Structure 1
Amino acid sequence: MLALDTATPAVTVALHDADGDRTLAAGHQVDARRHGELLLPSVDRVLSEAGRKLTDVTDLVVGVGPGPYTGLRVGLATAEAFAAALGLPVHGVCTLDGIAYAAGLDEPFLVATDARRREVYWARYADARTRVGEPAVDRPAELAEAHPEVTGLPAAGAGALLYRDVFHGAREDLPADQSAAALARLAAERLARGEELLPPRPLYLRRPDAKVPANYKVVTPR
Structure 2
Amino acid sequence: MLLLAFDTATPAITVAVHDGTSVVGRSGGEGATAHGELLAPAIRAALDEAGLAPCDLTDVAVGVGPGPYTGLRVGVVTALTLGATLGLRTHGVCTLDILAAEAAPGLGTEFLVATDARRREVYWARYASDGRRLEGPSVDLPTTVAQRFGGLPVVGRGADVHAEVLGGSSGPVDPSAAALAAVVLAGAVEVLPLEPLYLRRPDAVPIDQR
TM-score range, shorter chain: over 0.9
Q: Which has the larger radius of gyration?
A: 1
* Structure 2 partner of 1:78: 78
Aligned-pair distance for 1:198? 0.5
Q: How does 1:67-216 map to 2 (within 5 A)?
A: 67-103=67-103, 104=105, 105-145=107-147, 147=148, 150-168=149-167, 170-171=168-169, 174-190=171-187, 197-214=191-208, 216=209
Residues 28 and 151 (structure 1 numbering): CA distance in 2 closer, same or farther, change over 3 Å?
Answer: farther
Counterpart residue type for residue 163 of structure 1: H
- TM-score with structure 1 length normalisation? 0.88
CA contact (8 A) 2:157 2:169 kept: no
**1:119, 1:139 within 8 Å by CA — same for their partners in 2?**
yes
Distance change >3 Å, CA 211–CA 45, structure 1 → 2: closer
Taking every aligned residue pair, what percent have the same amino acid on both sides? 52
**TM-score, normalised relative to structure 2:** 0.92
The letter for the 2-side match of 1:186 is V
For 1:7, what is the secondary structure of its paired residue? coil
CA-atom RMSD in angstroms: 1.6
1:144-168 Cα shifts (integer Å, max 9, x gaps): 33x1xx2321111110011122213
- CA deviation string 1:101-146 (max 9, x = no partner): 121333211110000000000011112531112211001112233x
Whether the 8 Å contact between 1:3 and 1:180 is mirrored in structure 2 is yes
Check the 8 A contact 2:93/2:190 in 1, yes or no.
Answer: no
Deviates more, 1:9-18 or 1:203-212: 203-212
Alignment of 1:51-70 (within 5 A): 51-70=51-70
Map 1:29-48 → 2, pairs under 5 A: 29-48=29-48
Structure 2 partner of 1:220 = none
In 1, the alpha carbon distance for the partners of 2:68 and 2:83 equals: 23
Matched, 1:14 2:16: yes
Asked whether the 8 Å contact 1:62–1:79 carries over to 2, the reply is yes
SS in 2 for 1:127: coil
SS at match of 1:166: helix
Mark the runs of 5 or more structure 1 residues left unpaired by the alignment: 218-222
**In the aligned structure 1, how far is the partner of 2:102 from the partner of 2:146?**
25
Provide the C-alpha distance between the structure 2 equivalents of 1:73 and 1:8, rounded to a whole number of angstroms.
11
